[in-house]
A and B are shown apart, each in its own frame.
Chain A
């Protein structure tokens, strides 16, 4: 009887100490992630902010891309990512509605899900190859805005499906039962009750997919983007410039890599601001939604 309290006295201290020590390590791991983000963003802001001025944002590149601005790249990226969203959004939402509202567990459902997961895992450069072989060559779209937007749409489809499914799952089943109980058909229930309730969540997913499409480089390398084009795009079949490809080209190709460093940082900063800005909007919007749900 005497020994037992002693054991309790010694071990809680050591166990507690050991636990605290390990927990500090875990916290450190989390901090390293935060630091990585901060350091990258810090370097882009510290070196990029001088490059950013009105001319940079509103003028095309000049003198073999060593001066001037990035307006065509900004426009090109906006067209590409919005275009990809316009194509992928309806397909993705309809697909998620089937998976969440209609489908019963079955072999076909399992295969469809496997297909979506695998599509999400296809490397971005393989999407580029596919876009080149199918849209550019086989459908004869050429290197064009249309081919790039379609390629990006294929890539962002799983993102939209995932986000929409999440939003549909969050709609309480009582809503569906109430609507069905009033005599509405399944389709009426989906259209008038389920989709409106899930809409904010679906839109969050749409924002995230725009930001994903805006930041991708490899899928548009062979399908839409070019080093330099003097005109802003006027048709779906025009070649375009895009922010991510512009960064890649300026920082790796040509003879002026060192002298255009400030332009590279500036372009990176604009791209980061666009992508992280969209993500922040989505994150804040979602946090608000969750609070309202509770």
Chain B
């Protein structure tokens, strides 16, 4: 009887363990299939020409598969959106965790969550029909669908990520630290900047990296509002074509298992590695500089 029960326990453990491996399995299958469908392009184009070529004309004859303009577009869109989303996200997090009263907190927190829940296609649509004409009139541009618009929309997609993860980090700062600082005569503001933010900086850094990872991988927004020109941008109001936009826009037209199709999968590999690096970096920071308690400071 006891042995049978023990045996069943062992089996249940193994059973659950198998399910826990599902995520790893899916992740590795994503890698395998991306490489399976993406690598054939490198028999036509060298890796160097693919990554550093400045011409992306996949449908001309002979085609050019250089994704440097797309990489630069993705990086610049992410960079400019971060300029907005990092201060806004972190400040909102500080406000929620430290300054806001309980009642305001209960209103603003759900709002941030709802902002995170807005479907990306709706934000893209909003950028297209509302923000784009506004930018066009306001700055006198030839098109409102450009790098600036995309960065603006992406910022509001990554703010909720940055905000809620930073807030968790700020929240987990031991209260003794705060009390000690206040008891020494520091004001609340001084305590926030000199004690609370330094103590939670690893969590905030993780939040920022994950927010930027979300921005670089976001597809629908850049597909609809970035403008779509595969050129290296020279101004913040130039239309651009980030990596995900290129994949999403062209996959439908690319002949099945033709060079263009392979090139788009290879673009997917590059995009995957960008976000993979961001995530590994975030994981590294959060483990290496983990906040455990007052004693670690």
Contacts and interface: CB of A to CB of B under 8 A. Distances in A.
A37 B88 CA distance: 14
A246 to B, nearest CB: 9
B24 interface: yes
B108 A125 contact: no
B26 A119 contact: yes
A283 B91 CA distance: 23
Contact of A185 (B8, B114, B129, B217): B8
Given A26-B99, A123-B244, A129-B268, A102 B117 contact: no
Interface residues of A, number: 84
B297 interface: no
B187 A19 contact: yes
A129 B122 CA distance: 22
Interface in A80-102: 91, 94-95, 97-99, 101-102
Interface in B99-144: 99-100, 106, 108, 110-115, 117-126, 128-130
Contact of B34 (A97, A129, A161, A248): A129
A126 to B, nearest CB: 5
Given A29-B92, A133-B36, A280-B114, A217 B120 contact: yes
Given A26-B94, A34-B111, A218-B248, A123 B117 contact: no
B129 A123 contact: no
A95 B20 contact: yes
B251 interface: yes
Interface stretch (B52-60, B65-73, B270-278): B270-278
B138 to A, nearest CB: 16
Contacts of B288: none
Given A30-B95, A122-B272, A264-B125, A95 B22 contact: yes
B52 to A, nearest CB: 22
A272 B217 contact: no
B279 A133 contact: no
Contacts of A147: none
Contacts of B126: 40, 43-44
A43 B119 CA distance: 15
Contacts of A64: none
Given A29-B91, A221-B251, A185 B122 contact: no
Interface string A175-187: 0000000000111
A173 interface: no
B220 interface: yes
Contacts of B163: 33
A240 interface: no
Interface in A32-67: 32-34, 36-37, 40, 43-44
A26 B125 CA distance: 29
B64 interface: no
Contacts of B94: 26
A111 B23 contact: no
A132 B213 CA distance: 23
Interface stretch (B11-19, B43-51, B195-203): B11-19
Contact of B20 (A34, A40, A103): A103
Contact of A130 (B33, B216, B244): B33
Interface string B258-271: 00000011001001
Contacts of A44: 122, 126
A29 B93 CA distance: 9
The interface centre, meaning the residue of A98, A247, A276 with most chain B CB atoms within 10 A of its CB, is A98
B115 A37 contact: yes
The interface centre, meaning the residue of B15, B20, B95, B124 with most chain A CB atoms within 10 A of its CB, is B20
B120 to A, nearest CB: 7
Q: Which 4 A-B pairs have the closest CB atoms?
A: A123-B217, A215-B119, A94-B19, A29-B91
Interface of B: 5, 8-9, 12-13, 15-17, 19-24, 26-27, 29-30, 33-34, 36-37, 87-88, 91-92, 94-96, 99-100, 106, 108, 110-115, 117-126, 128-130, 156, 159-160, 163, 187-190, 210, 213-214, 216-220, 223-224, 244, 247-248, 251-252, 264-265, 268, 271-272, 275-276, 278-280, 282-283
23 contacts: A16-B187, A26-B95, A33-B88, A33-B111, A33-B160, A91-B22, A117-B279, A118-B279, A121-B213, A122-B30, A123-B272, A134-B33, A187-B9, A214-B119, A215-B119, A218-B120, A218-B244, A248-B220, A248-B224, A271-B121, A275-B119, A276-B114, A279-B113
